A = this chain, B = another copy of it.
Amino acid sequence: MPTVSSEELAAAAGVNSAKLRKDFSYLGSYGTRGVGYDVEYLVYQISRELGLTQDWPVVIVGIGNLGAALANYGGFASRGFRVAALIDADAAMAGKPVAGIPVQHTDDLEKIIKDNGVSIGVIATPAGAAQQVCDRLVAAGVTSILNFAPTVLSVPDGVDVRKVDLSIELQILAFHEQRKAGEEAASDGAGPAAVTREESARSADQGPDGDVPAVMPA
């Protein structure tokens, strides 16, 4: 039986082994003392807890460049997502296939949601249309929305919204870039706002995690 110890996993992931064990313990996934975790069972447990074993039908509304990019994105299928439908307001696009899936018109939005049992919607429309689309999705039964439009959506309680702003990541890079450039100039110790830049402990940090606090950067 192939197994891994928490120590091995922690080293590979770059995290603390105790934290990893504690996290696993919340899952109820029992390892074997003196041996480690059964790899196959562990994978199954985590997959199930994360919802990877389920089939999540999603609809993408707004088939412009971004919507098309999302429809073509390969990473979805392996994580349990299935693009159930593509929806666009442009009647000229109706019927045309994108990524092998025919585009349907906004008029049929409600029917599409219900027929496919969709609970997750992706909004890739222009900013002006986003709230309206959102309202219709919610009314049709969608309870989770991924919003790429540069608008903050208002939704009733019980509906989750996650906003993806593609320029924020660039912003963060630019901020660090500025610090790099200003470092030698700032080393004279003068000037206000001489916020010291601490190097990230984990050099391999490539995630969208809280490097930069809500109001002010670290």
Contacts and interface: CB of A to CB of B under 8 A. Distances in A.
Nearest to A50: B175
B163 A207 contact: yes
A203 B207 CA distance: 24
Interface in A22-44: 23-24, 26-29
Interface string A1-36: 000000000000101000110011011110000000
A175 to B, nearest CB: 5
19 contacts: A19-B215, A23-B213, A23-B215, A27-B192, A51-B174, A54-B174, A64-B72, A65-B68, A66-B66, A69-B69, A73-B166, A79-B170, A80-B174, A120-B173, A120-B174, A162-B169, A162-B172, A162-B206, A209-B210
Interface of A: 13, 15, 19-20, 23-24, 26-29, 45, 49-51, 54, 56, 58, 64-66, 68-70, 72-76, 79-81, 119-120, 122, 143-147, 150, 152-153, 157-158, 160-178, 180, 192-195, 203-204, 206-210, 213-217
